């Protein structure tokens, strides 16, 4: 199963919105075929492994990092292919949370005369596809909040001004995280002061897939010509009905979030709407305002903080300067390591404590 998981990890960042899945076929204690899922619409891991094994698949055990599917999606069900190839036993790391599967794969295998086991290295399998699991089981994406800060906790040397905080290695590291995300979200303030592209440029140029870029701009302050809307890939503005038409006319898709009552949480609405669009992982990369609002809403599942070894001084424009009460409690450190000249800290919400040791090894 460890081998199946390692194969699965090769598909990370390219299979979206599908999960990354790996499969190893073993007969008489020897591997006879292996495969992994590369991209949505392409063959599933089991099909690749069966193709590799050919006739040797008969009587073999299949180790799969996710329950085999029993539905016709973009591709035919793997269960049928496994049974037709004469697989005797299937060991799955975890049940597929996709409502089209959820145990139906295992049930169909059993009905077809196959022995099955589930729950082998389950936590590793869930962590690898934490966005996919969160979307299907909780109706929202897995939210990763990124911040690059000085040692005195500031985003910039002076409010409203662009400052380079971290070094080149941290910048590359950020691109790796963006590449693994389904969507990247920033705020209007960041677009106005930095005019960032927010696309993925490393480690592969051009990358196989660009995450959806989102700008949270409820007052319609951003220029439709801003680079975030023009960079390669797809972008959209999260705004209100009042401003939607203006951006639509400029060729930018508006995601309309009209919050009518004070207690209707716009974050909850946005996350629900993104899950419906098959967004598994949302990477939030913004300035103090949106970052504080994300924290105050208790949204981040995971925190990635880059600390630069410098003090800006002269007052604090970072998180501490926010007037919003922050729910900083309930976080658990999972990793700390140097990235170039900076330090990278990672934390998860306490409720994810079970996954913490596995997250440390992941990306």
Which spans of this chain sit near Zn ion (rule: CB under 5 A)?
Answer: 44, 69, 78
- CB nearer to ligand AOF: pick between 18 and 150: 18
Instruction: Copy the structure tokens of residue 187.
Output: 């705020």
DSSP assigned state of 340? T
18 binds ligand AOF (CB under 6 A): yes
- CB nearer to Zn ion: pick between 82 and 295: 82
275 binds ligand AOF (CB under 6 A): no
Instruction: Copy the structure tokens of residue 84.
Output: 């037709």
Residues ≥6 apart with Cβ < 8 Å to 46: 23, 35, 62, 64, 68, 78, 81, 82
40 binds, among Zn ion, ligand AOF, none (CB under 5 to 8 A by kind): ligand AOF
Give the three-class secondary structure for 161: coil
Q: Which residue is nearest to ligand AOF (CB)?
A: 73
DSSP assigned state of 57? G
226 binds, among ligand AOF, Zn ion, none (CB under 5 to 8 A by kind): none
- CB nearer to Zn ion: pick between 69 and 121: 69
CA 139/CA 24 separation, integer angstroms: 31
Question: Judged by CB under 6 A, which of 16, 34, 38, 46 binds ligand AOF?
Answer: 46
Give the three-class secondary structure for 109: helix
What is the Cα 296 distance to its own chain's centre?
21
CA 19/CA 68 separation, integer angstroms: 12
**Residue 76 CB-density burial (10 A; 0-12 exposed, 13-18 middle, 19+ buried):** middle
**Residue ranges in 91-110 that form contacts with ligand AOF under rule CB under 6 A:** 96, 98, 101
Mask of contacts with ligand AOF, 59-98, x by CB under 6 A?
Answer: -------x-xx---xxx--x-----------------x-x
- CB nearer to ligand AOF: pick between 71 and 269: 71
- Catalytic pick from 46, 67, 95, 302? 46
Among 43-51, 137-145, 179-187, 331-339, the segment contacting ligand AOF (CB under 6 A): 43-51
40 binds ligand AOF (CB under 6 A): yes
CA 117/CA 94 separation, integer angstroms: 9
- CB nearer to ligand AOF: pick between 96 and 199: 96
Among 18-26, 110-118, 169-177, 178-186, the segment contacting ligand AOF (CB under 6 A): 18-26
With both helix axes pointing from N to C terminus, report the angle between 2-9 and 45-53 in degrees, rounded to the nearest 10: 110
Instruction: Copy the structure tokens of residue 287.
Output: 């300035």
Task: Determine the Cα angle at 348 with ends 346 and 353, to 5°.
Answer: 125
116 binds ligand AOF (CB under 6 A): no
Selection from 175, 39, 62 nearest residue 116 by Cα: 62
166 binds, among Zn ion, ligand AOF, none (CB under 5 to 8 A by kind): none
Annotation says 46 is catalytic: yes
134 binds ligand AOF (CB under 6 A): no
Residues that bind ligand AOF (CB under 6 A): 18-19, 21, 37, 40, 44-46, 66, 68-69, 73-75, 78, 96, 98, 101
Active-site residue list: 46
């Amino acid at each position: 199963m460890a081998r199946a998981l390692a194969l699965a990890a090769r598909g990370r960042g390219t299979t979206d919105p599908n999960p990354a899945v790996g499969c190893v076929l073993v007969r008489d204690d020897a591997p006879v075929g292996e495969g992994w899922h590369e991209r949505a619409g392409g063959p599933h891991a089991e099909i690749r492994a069966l193709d590799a094994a050919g006739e040797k698949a008969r009587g073999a055990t299949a180790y799969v990092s996710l329950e085999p599917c029993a539905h016709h999606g973009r591709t035919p069900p793997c269960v049928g292919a496994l049974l037709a190839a004469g697989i005797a036993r299937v060991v799955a790391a975890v049940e597929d949370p996709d409502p089209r599967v959820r145990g139906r794969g295992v049930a169909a295998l059993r009905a077809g005369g196959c022995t099955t086991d589930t729950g082998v290295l389950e936590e590793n399998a869930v962590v690898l596809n934490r966005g996919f699991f969160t979307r299907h089981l909780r109706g929202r994406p897995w939210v990763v909040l990124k911040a690059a800060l000085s040692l005195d906790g500031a985003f910039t040397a002076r409010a409203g001004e662009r400052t380079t905080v971290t070094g080149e290695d941290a910048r590359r590291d950020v691109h790796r995280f963006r590449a693994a995300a389904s969507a990247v979200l920033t705020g209007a303030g960041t677009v106005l002061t930095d005019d960032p592209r927010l696309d993925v440029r490393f480690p592969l140029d051009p990358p196989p897939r660009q995450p959806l870029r989102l700008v949270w701009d409820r007052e319609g302050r951003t220029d439709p010509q801003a680079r975030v809307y023009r960079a390669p890939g797809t972008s959209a503005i999260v705004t209100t009905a009042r401003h939607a038409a203006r951006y639509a006319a400029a060729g930018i898709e508006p995601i309309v979030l009209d919050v009518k009552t004070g207690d209707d949480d716009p974050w909850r609405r946005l996350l629900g709407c993104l899950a419906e669009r098959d967004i598994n992982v949302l990477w939030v990369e913004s300035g103090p305002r949106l970052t504080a609002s994300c924290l105050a809403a208790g949204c981040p599942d995971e925190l990635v903080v880059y600390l630069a070894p410098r003090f800006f001084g002269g007052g604090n424009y970072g998180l501490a300067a926010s007037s919003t009460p922050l729910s900083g409690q309930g976080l658990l450190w999972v990793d700390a390591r140097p990235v170039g000249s900076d330090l990278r800290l990672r934390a998860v919400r306490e409720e994810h404590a079970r996954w913490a040791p596995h997250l440390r090894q992941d990306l």
